[in-house]
Structure 1
Amino acid sequence: MYRYFLGAALLLSAAARAQTAPTASVLTQADKLTTAQQYEAAYALLDKADPQNQQPDVVLAKEKLLLSYYLISVNYKSFGLKNLQPGETVAQLRGQKGPYSMHLLDIPKELKRLQQKSPQNYALSKGLGDYYYQAQQCHCGERDKTDAQLLALVLRYYGSAHAHGVGDFMSYYAVGYALLMQKKPEPSLAAFEQSIALNAEYPTSHYNLAFAQAQLGRWADATPHAQAAYRLYPDPELKADAARLLGHLYLQQKQPAEAKVALQQSLDLQPRSYASLLQLLQLAVAERSPTAPELATRLYQLDPADDQMFVDIMDTFQAANQWTEAEAVFRSQLPTAPKTPAAQGLLHFYLAILNMQLQRPKEARPHFLTAQTQLRKVAKPDNPMFELIEKGLKETRP
């Protein structure tokens, strides 16, 4: 009897080796095709090796290929692939019409089915986490679920995988991201830190770790990670965001010189960044820098019909008790301000307010009158600005 069971064990081991070797070979070949951007060929190879989706490693390879390199998708269940030509990229083609081969794979259904057969295979849990994270990010599948529900599924499946030692830098990053979205910055720190430990060159883990620490008021801890994100991001827009975050961190640490450098770096990358211009203006006004009028003008010119812009500029100069300087900035825009009712009405309205603050009722009155005429064309009668205009006209009546 003993020999019978030993023989059976040996036969099972041999059978397992016979299955594993071909599977490993197929996965290796598929990886080579993927590296060569032959995505359709890679998927065809995987599907031929496991057409019924019975082998977890092959199904997970299919999932990775589809989610990473699809060009179009239908409900995140059917995916279009293509063998790319030299010079073509997925980023360029995604969402564009084209002759793509479509592949139907209900990823969560297949992975959950395999989980029932292999409950100890936690790579399947990670695969489910990968799927729900990507679905939440692209908003192109699982339309019956809210963002909150998708994030809960991300945490559930990645949590199971991580608890059993299965994970990578992106899965830990996704956990941190999900916790941040749930307004839980404190527990997100460990996930981002683990992501960085696994891949210190991924800038978004550094950025979000800095962001989480900033939410907790840990400015000094956040600073080196914001610096790393700025250094590592190749994309100018993302690099600008990191520089702006770094500027904010320096401001919180009472380091205006360092903040100015970081914010200027952000502005150089994003010349029309409202946030960077406003923070640089606040620094310049506080220092009584001669660059303040230029910065205020650049902020104004982003959208001369934006009421919030006028408020922000006024608040900035008011904080430094520089009413005359604020009035001069707005007055300098009169010759070139757009002739639209909103732009003209707002500019004259705030010039009237500033002149009243400076106790110049005579100068304020014509601005109130012009503001009233122009704003009546675009604002509702119950707009609070009309009450202030009426009050100003009464107080400035000759």
Structure 2
Amino acid sequence: MIKFLFSFLICFSFICNGNNSFSDVDSLIEKKQFLDAWKLLSSKESKSNKEQINIKKIDMCLKYFTKSISHQAFAFTNLKPDENIIQKRNLAETKLIPTFPFKIDVIIDSLIRENPENYNLYKSKGDYYYDIFILFGKDWIINKQEVLRRMYTAYKKADENGKNDYISLYALGYFHNLNSETNKAINYFKRSVSLDSNYAPTHYNMAYIYTELDSNNLALKHALSAYGKYKYITYKNNACQMAGSILGKLERHNEAVSVLLDCDRLIPSTYQTYYYLLNSFLKLNKTKEALLTANNMFSLDWKSHTINTDIIEFFIKTNHLTELISFYQTKLKNEKFDMEFRGHIQLHIAQAYSLVNEDKYKVKYINEAKESFTACYDKSHPIFRVLNKMIK
């Protein structure tokens, strides 16, 4: 009985130590004492626990570094209560601070060779290459495609053996989406969402895929989720624009306008927001708002063929030719002397008449554009070839 109790206590002690072996390290991390946590973790390493210690070290390197040298060496800092790691990283970019060499790729491959059945090692390896892909893109030691391949191979092996989380499943889905393997991508994304429904990138990518599949109601659900969950304004704005465009496709234009105006408050004066707004305003016959939006688009770059073509096509498709011509005629009335500007406006009016097969007015404005451009361009300028092609 005593022998059994002694054995039980040893086993119980081992289990407890295994579960709490990093409690002191985690306590330091919670207090943002990252340098002290790293040093304490390093002091714990022995032959018997090196796999567990190095997995924890990798996790620290990816989450809590102050400075990274190509993810081959890392610096850590003890922060004050009011400091955050992002601020420290920004400051560290221009400073020389001591780093700890820690070549994760070499270390993890060595550990896997020693114990290929520890699938937590594969999961850590995937985490490492995923982080490199996010932070470095094309600018790492090996090319982007090889980084993605290593990430995928490691995460796949880990997942096949029950080691995954919402990020690894998202990354596997992202990889399949890049390779146009839509069904596989969706399956991984669904599994990722089932583990953590608050991870915005998964929702955003699901929205993108469902848009490509013309499953617009599903796409809208995930686009709105991504919009609500993203914290960074740029990503939030992208998700917002996607939601607005999908609402437009679903002919829910009042809702689209509401969402897109939110986009314009997040990041004012972006072309994509104006593009989708113009479509919805015209579909709702809100010509005053449509003309204001068209003017905002035009003001971004009045010479842009793409911008003006989009404006023209939206107005024509929604049977607003009269308002479109008036829009450009006002530009001509307000600018009497800049012949380059007038030439472009006359060209765009000719474009509009061409789309509705009004050849008489098309030719009239082509000839006026030629006159305007002759005053500011040499006869060899390519714009004259464009105008001559339009007459034919």
Both proteins in one fold, TM over 0.5: yes
| Alpha-carbon distance in structure 1 between the residues aligned to 2:95 and 2:255 | 49
**Residue 29 of structure 1 pairs with residue 30 of structure 2:** no
Match for residue 281 of structure 1?
278
Range 303-312 or range 109-118, more displaced: 303-312
Cα drift, residue 351 of structure 1: 4.0
Match for residue 83 of structure 1?
78
AA in 1 matched with 2:34: Y
Cα drift, residue 192 of structure 1: 1.3
Contact 1:123/1:161, CA 8 A, preserved across alignment: yes
| Alpha-carbon distance in structure 2 between the residues aligned to 1:80 and 1:120 | 31
- Aligned with 1:332: secondary structure? helix
| Alpha-carbon distance in structure 1 between the residues aligned to 2:160 and 2:29 | 30
**Residue 132 of structure 1 pairs with residue 129 of structure 2:** yes
Number of residue pairs matched by the alignment: 380
**Residue 192 of structure 1 pairs with residue 194 of structure 2:** no
| Alpha-carbon distance in structure 1 between the residues aligned to 2:80 and 2:237 | 32
Give the counterpart of 1:295 among 276, 290, 293: 293
| Alpha-carbon distance in structure 1 between the residues aligned to 2:23 and 2:374 | 73
CA gap 1:328/1:153 in 2 versus in 1, 3 angstroms: same
| Alpha-carbon distance in structure 2 between the residues aligned to 1:210 and 1:36 | 38
**Residue 153 of structure 1 pairs with residue 140 of structure 2:** no
Match for residue 33 of structure 2?
38
Match for residue 228 of structure 1?
225
Contact 1:317/1:326, CA 8 A, preserved across alignment: yes
CA gap 1:341/1:171 in 2 versus in 1, 3 angstroms: farther
Cα displacement string for residues 11-56 of structure 1 (whole angstroms, at most 9, x for unaligned residues): xx969966x7667655222222222222222111112222889611
Cα displacement string for residues 183-219 of structure 1 (whole angstroms, at most 9, x for unaligned residues): 2222111211111111122222222222222222222
Cα drift, residue 256 of structure 1: 2.8
- Aligned with 2:285: secondary structure? coil
Give the counterpart of 1:61 among 40, 56, 67: 56
Give the counterpart of 1:326 among 303, 324, 327: 324
| Alpha-carbon distance in structure 2 between the residues aligned to 1:222 and 1:110 | 41
CA gap 1:314/1:68 in 2 versus in 1, 3 angstroms: same
For normalisation by structure 1, the TM-score amounts to: 0.83
Cα drift, residue 102 of structure 1: 0.3
Cα drift, residue 60 of structure 1: 1.3
Contact 1:243/1:266, CA 8 A, preserved across alignment: yes
Give the counterpart of 2:261 among 264, 272, 281: 264
Contact 1:108/1:128, CA 8 A, preserved across alignment: yes
Match for residue 72 of structure 1?
67
Cα drift, residue 130 of structure 1: 0.5
Contact 2:343/2:368, CA 8 A, preserved across alignment: no
Contact 2:67/2:75, CA 8 A, preserved across alignment: yes
Identity %: 22
Contact 2:65/2:76, CA 8 A, preserved across alignment: yes
Q: CA RMSD in A?
A: 3.4
Cα drift, residue 309 of structure 1: 0.7
| Alpha-carbon distance in structure 1 between the residues aligned to 2:80 and 2:333 | 54
Contact 1:263/1:276, CA 8 A, preserved across alignment: yes
Cα displacement string for residues 83-118 of structure 1 (whole angstroms, at most 9, x for unaligned residues): 223433232332522353301111111111111222
CA gap 1:127/1:288 in 2 versus in 1, 3 angstroms: same
| Alpha-carbon distance in structure 2 between the residues aligned to 1:199 and 1:371 | 60
Question: What is the 5 A alignment of 1:1-398?
Answer: 25=20, 27-50=22-45, 55-95=50-90, 96-98=93-95, 100-139=97-136, 143-290=140-287, 291-334=289-332, 346-354=344-352, 357=358, 359-360=360-361, 365-374=367-376, 381=380, 383=382, 385-390=383-388
Range 215-224 or range 251-260, more displaced: 251-260
AA in 2 matched with 1:33: L
CA gap 1:374/1:69 in 2 versus in 1, 3 angstroms: farther
Where structure 2 has 5 or more consecutive residues not aligned to the other structure, the ranges are none
Cα displacement string for residues 123-164 of structure 1 (whole angstroms, at most 9, x for unaligned residues): 100011001111111226883533222222222111111111
- Aligned with 1:304: secondary structure? coil
- Aligned with 2:99: secondary structure? strand
